[in-house]
Chain A
């Protein structure tokens, strides 16, 4: 019996690492009056053709935000209206998610629409034009115009994976979106929306027969995706490099990092998770970077680090699930600093990373962070929706239930393992840095070489901080003038 269970566990692993041969199901039945549907296709922007980036995302948006064969988009919106329901889509490199929820009263009516939208898309020209315009405007205005921080993060990732299937933004580029036709969308749908790529997730108070219906209906999709398995090999870099995006803005936002060879399920993942949480837990004030940059020095609004992709961090307090990736990057996010303090702020962040790599974390910080994480996982999965989404990610990564996986791993983890993982996977050389600012040439001059970069405060600081500031100000982050590239914002994702 034990042996059989073991075999099943192994085969689950294999499924996730290569490709499943048939649709997979994650079901969390319960008593809730709300039924949550979450269909994830393990395909996404990494499958965008080189000259048509944005295709995967536009395809999904066309299904979730366009009409079906029998109903126009307006008819769908009208039908959803009294149910307060909709279908949402999310596309990342390796996952395309369709999600929705309905009160169980309306499940039948809701599902009829959901099914038609996903299985019998309408592919109408007017929907296509509207959604394509919206994608182009999101790039030009939503990202480049109004969101310096998200822009910095996405430019960073595109740079880290340049030349690989991850080397572009999932929303695409303006010229690429302009090239995309409805035929491209249909082709993408036909090739990649297959049973082998599909994970069907459902939670809440649905009847058991409903699940059979879902299986049967989505069994009409083509069986297999013929695309070869993805292999992501981020390019090796020899030297720290900075890309400064120049645009009209008040302050300076930074993101920097490098790819790491660790993802959920790998032996060093729990150790790096502890590191991440200690050094800069997202939007929590306890992180080391937050303390050193914001709390002590009052430089900006917050400072965080990541070992997994985390889009929309400006709006989200917790990581969005179902953006699982086969290759992940270590990233530091420094929220906007006033221009006179900007060069110092970058040196301070790299200086702190250097200390982390050299000194590791103390036993006290290790114990505290471990305790935090073992409880915080409950917060991450506080809704049925989140529980379902995490279970789907766990299937992708070939790990057990996420909460159990983290709690078990933390119970066995030691400080030495964390510090060994830090030394093995983190570094301060060969960084990719992205800055978004109005005065690119000035910033370039201030961040190359050993400075010194100065900082002035509006209140007295303790002598140990002032002494540290002198060291930080002269801390060479390894940038030579030839390593700094300035790009006007109009050229980004164009």
Chain B
């Protein structure tokens, strides 16, 4: 009896060892909605004494629908640190400092996230303070203008990098009407005009900083009941808004596009080849299939990478990103070349590779390896309260629930080589393509 039990145990162990972890998102969590539409997701994790609070507002540069107002969601991320009557900036800072908190915020096309990691005993104080700024933010014109200087400073520190410029031109060229046309930083002319947009900033806050746009994620050493009680107390009075942004729909692209950037100082040539892709989905295979395609065809152990980066050494980096945004976004292949004279050949080779996989199937074994890898990578990333919250925040911006993670990985698990080919045929087509190259002054300055 004992022996057969042991044997059974061994079989189970082997099964576990042979397969990747089964449940992709390994934590138990609670998800609750307050009557005002605010959502709370609490995820206890093994992080003694530490708590992370991530507040996700489903507003990003995507919501910047008026002309001349690009970069506003990001500016607003900055303004949220400019205080209220109850917690002027000095007091706000004092509480964060005394909590030993690591605190910051970030903005992308679909979301603005405010995040703080600190000792658990400070949770009531931090949540009360957060609620106050989300409900009662108030800043004078002078503080607004001063903060626009810090935003211009952020533009300046990014502007030394040609990769930022390439991205700016790529989005501007690929999109005509949808707000993904501009990057989160916004166009320089709009950033320079920000000091004159005080009234618009108040309007922006009134529209989007509302409970129905907001999800609070609490991870770490936390009791869900306590978190709910604290959020009820602090955020319960927050009033629901009524604004719905009318995000322009991007018309179908009907011909390939191109642009080139002349960069003022020495750089390695950069090349981006992008295709109009789908919006994020966890109910169909599109998102998962394109993600697997990006890894298999352009990732570190792809044939193309091994040829161009490792053997021929013509590129010093190559990779692709599948879209994962609220609205249809780009599937982008990026390469950094060593020599400018290789640009036409590399471009042709990447295009031929895209073409090839519209006919050929990827190997089934390799696809299984990708599936395995994605699950391991996901599990290994979730090793502390902050990274759990950070990861969940990305998905909350898309579907407002961690539930979408397991749904997405179910799609992943069902992928076949035919699915990948099908998605390549559907999305990676010439009429939806945009190519942008960037080169520095000759000589390119690369190592010979």
Identify the A interface with B (CB < 8 A). 32-34, 73-74, 77-78, 81-85, 101-103, 105-106, 126, 129-130, 132-134, 136-137, 140-141, 144-149, 247-251, 253, 283-286, 294-302, 314, 317-318, 335-338, 368-369, 371-379, 382-385, 457-461, 489-490
Contact = CB atoms under 8 A, between A and B. Distances in A.
Contacts of B149: 297-300, 458
Interface string B66-83: 000000000000000100
A253 B157 CA distance: 8
A347 B195 CA distance: 25
B98 interface: yes
Interface in B285-301: 300-301
Nearest to A335: B157
A62 to B, nearest CB: 14
Contacts of A458: 145-146, 148-149, 195
Nearest to A78: B301
B119 A375 contact: yes
Nearest to B47: A382
Interface stretch (B262-270, B276-284, B319-327): B262-270
6 contacts: A130-B309, A146-B267, A373-B100, A376-B100, A458-B146, A459-B195
B266 A145 contact: yes
Interface string B374-393: 10110110011111000000
Nearest to B82: A295
Contact of B150 (A102, A286, A300): A300
B142 A137 contact: no
B131 interface: no
A103 B97 contact: no
B160 A148 contact: yes
Nearest to A250: B159
A240 to B, nearest CB: 25
B153 A299 contact: yes
A318 B21 CA distance: 30
A298 B82 CA distance: 12
A461 B373 CA distance: 55
Interface in B85-144: 89, 93-94, 96-104, 117-119, 122, 141-142, 144
A298 B301 contact: no
B160 A147 contact: yes
Interface string B214-235: 0000000000000000000000
Contacts of B447: 132-133, 136-137, 140
Interface of B: 16-17, 20-21, 47, 49-50, 81, 89, 93-94, 96-104, 117-119, 122, 141-142, 144-150, 152-154, 156-157, 159-163, 195, 264-268, 300-301, 306, 309-311, 313, 316, 338, 369-370, 372-374, 376-377, 379-380, 383-387, 440, 445-447
Given A141-B268, A378-B119, A372 B163 contact: no
B163 A146 contact: yes
The secondary structure that dominates the B interface is helix
B114 to A, nearest CB: 12
Given A368-B97, A372-B97, A376-B100, A82 B376 contact: yes
Nearest to A283: B104
A134 B148 CA distance: 38
Given A368-B97, A382-B385, A83 B373 contact: yes
A148 B158 CA distance: 10
A146 B161 contact: yes
Given A295-B89, A300-B153, A137 B446 contact: yes
6 tightest A-B contacts by CB? A375-B100, A298-B149, A459-B145, A84-B377, A298-B146, A300-B153
B97 A383 contact: no
B93 A286 contact: yes
Contacts of B338: 133, 137
B100 A141 contact: no
Given A298-B148, A382-B384, A82 B47 contact: no
B117 A103 contact: no
A140 B150 CA distance: 29
A226 B156 CA distance: 48
Contacts of B117: 379, 382
A126 B311 contact: yes
A336 B160 CA distance: 10
